[in-house]
Amino acid sequence: MKDWALLVELGGVVLLLAIASRLAARYGFSPIPLFLLAGLAFGEGGVIPLVTAEGFIEAGAQIGLVLLLFSLGLEYSAHELVGSLRTNAVSGVVDGVLNFTPGFLAGLVLGWGATASLFLGGVTYISSSGVVARLLDELGWMGNREAPTVLSILVIEDLVMAVYLPVVTILLVGGTAGSLAGSIALSFLVVGGILAVAARYGPAISRAVFSHSDEALLLAILGLLLLTAGLTERLNVSAAVGAFLAGIVFSGAAADRAQALLRPLRDLFAAVFFVFFGFQIDPGSIPSAAPAALLLALVGVGTKLATGWWSARRAGVGPRARWRAGTALVARGEFSIVIAGLAVAAGLEPELGPLAATYVLILAVAGPILARVADCRRAAPRPAS
């Protein structure tokens, strides 16, 4: 009987993740690195390789990816996206150039193809909105003058992903220059179309879906979400982008309720997603990837510090706040894994997975630590929450 084995394995995995999450909360850092480590331990060549639960974890990882991006999209309204672009577009460009280039060049230096290098550029580029937003909140930085700048950069990065992900997904499939251009044009049409629908009919759709019954609302939103994700994947736009855009379409009461209803599901499946990523990596390949990852991480800290410093100065805040903005942006996390995950699933470049995992392991931990160091007003007593 395999049924009991599946349940036991799943139970063991989830329980281990619970312990990891608890540890992370206790010491105030993101649980993502621990989830990745757990995945490494469960995978082939790991400490306790899983046998029966693999299929479930793979499917769960896909749902996790969709939920992760959907809830990210829910956070923003189309209005906020446009507003951020208007005020901080220049910072967004600086952020992109400074942080994408190191990864892209590193890929080329390592002798990877252009496509794999594009993926590594994406991995080094994008900050973890999840980790950064939580950091701002925990350190009480939301009131600080640099907070809007930092948040706007995150919004722009996420929006860039809506363009970046379809492009790299199509490059992954490959083809002639002509067919690539055609697919890319089509995907932009899809993205543009969904954004236009969001701006125009978002509120109406949200009202139509909204129901006072939690069950009906949850099922309706989950159904629409998986459908959108699946169909956009079919159009080569990537399920991740479809889910993100679907999140933007929803707003108002439907979005608030959906956010609350989906949170437990998202937490569970997102954890599964990170585990699955670690799962696909052979732990034996980590040591050889570590030097490059460490070097890239050092550069990645520097370029994000520069980005935050420059953008905050542009917003007219003082030196200390500029450093805070820089340190807040250092953490990389879920999005880097999402990007690397696409390449790993396609079997693009065997070194990319271990390199990205190590890179995120380092920066998901280093980012919050740096931010706490920059937070020199620790001496002030913290109020009770």
Partner 1 sequence: MTDVNEVRLPGVGVRYEFVTSRGARVAVIHHRSGLRELVVYDETDPDTSREILRLDADDGRTLVDLLGGSHVAQELTKLQQSVEGLAIDWLPVPAGTPYSERTIGDTQARTRTGTSIVAVLRGDEAIPAPGPELQLHVDDTLVVVGTPRGIEELVVILRTG
Going by the DSSP 8-state scheme, the letter that residue 77 receives in this structure is: -
Exactly one of 83, 203, 302, 350 binds partner 1 (CB under 8 A); that residue is 83
Task: Give buried/exposed letters for 57-79 (b at 16+ CB in 10 A, else e).
Answer: beebbbbbbbbbbbbbbbbbbbe
CA distance 280 to 268: 19
Exactly one of 147, 195, 248, 337 binds partner 1 (CB under 8 A); that residue is 147
Phi, psi of 112 (to 5 degrees): -80, 165
SS3 content of the chain, % helix, strand, coil (to 5): 80, 0, 20
Position 118 contacts partner 1 (CB under 8 A): no
Position 335 contacts partner 1 (CB under 8 A): no
Tell me which residues in 245-264 interact with partner 1 (CB under 8 A).
256
Position 68 contacts partner 1 (CB under 8 A): no
CA distance 349 to 376: 42
Position 143 contacts partner 1 (CB under 8 A): yes
CB 247 within 8 A of CB 74: yes
Residue showing tokens 């055609």: 182
Exactly one of 80, 110, 220, 236 binds partner 1 (CB under 8 A); that residue is 80
Tell me whether residue 360 is exposed, middle or buried, using C-beta atoms within 10 angstroms of its C-beta: 0 to 12, 13 to 18, 19 or more.
buried
Region of 26-34, 74-82, 330-338, 344-352 interacting with partner 1 (CB under 8 A): 74-82
Exactly one of 45, 175, 284, 318 binds partner 1 (CB under 8 A); that residue is 318
Size, binding site for partner 1 by CB under 8 A = 33
Minimum distance, C-beta of residue 243 to partner 1, in the bound complex (Å) = 16
Minimum distance, C-beta of residue 76 to partner 1, in the bound complex (Å) = 6
Position 135 contacts partner 1 (CB under 8 A): no
Minimum distance, C-beta of residue 305 to partner 1, in the bound complex (Å) = 17
Q: What residues contact residue 352 under an 8 Å CB cut-off, 6+ apart?
A: 112, 116, 119, 120, 123, 340, 343, 344
Q: What is the largest CA-CA distance in the chain?
A: 66
CA distances, 74 to each of 136, 169, 198 (Å): 19, 23, 11
Position 378 contacts partner 1 (CB under 8 A): no
Tokens of residue 82, six digits: 């446009």
Minimum distance, C-beta of residue 317 to partner 1, in the bound complex (Å) = 5
Measured from the CB atom, is 85 or 105 closer to partner 1?
A: 85
Cα torsion 299, 134, 251, 155 to 10°: value is -20
Position 373 contacts partner 1 (CB under 8 A): no
Region of 23-31, 81-89, 108-116, 194-202 interacting with partner 1 (CB under 8 A): 81-89
Position 198 contacts partner 1 (CB under 8 A): no
Binding site for partner 1 (CB under 8 A): 75-76, 80-81, 83-84, 129, 133, 136-137, 140-148, 151-152, 154-155, 256, 317-318, 320-321, 377, 380, 382-383, 385
